[in-house]
Amino acid sequence: MPDTYLRISVNTKAATLGVGLLLGGVAFYFYDLSTTSRTFVIVLFLFLTAPVGAHLIGRASYFIGNKLWDKSQMDDLKGKYQRNSHVLKSEIDDTPEDNIDHTKM
């Protein structure tokens, strides 16, 4: 894979699918309520946490300045990410770049 972001995506998908199918096979093989419920909870936990972890790693990677692949078509976050406050501006947000007061609630 050519850059960090694609490697994160591919590894997360492969690991989540692989472990999910493996645990599905375990639940099918043992076929009792205790094992099936435990494997279901583990798969649910994995499906909820793996993408979040990959997103956080990707966000940190973007923040420290890892470059995109040379053949990437576009950088969707370019000009929208405030490096001083770690806030991603939306399309309709008209807050000035140097104003970080809007992050305090």
pLDDT tens digits, 7-27: 888 889 999 999 999 999 999
For 31: left if phi > 0, alpha if psi spans -120 to 50, otherwise beta; the answer is left
pLDDT tens digits, 27-73: 999 989 999 999 999 999 999 999 999 988 888 888 877 777 777 76
- For residue 98, CA distances in Å to 34, 77, 78, 82, 84 come to 55, 17, 16, 8, 8
The model scores a pTM over 0.95: no
- Amino acid 8: pLDDT: 84
Contact 35, 27 (CB under 8 A): yes
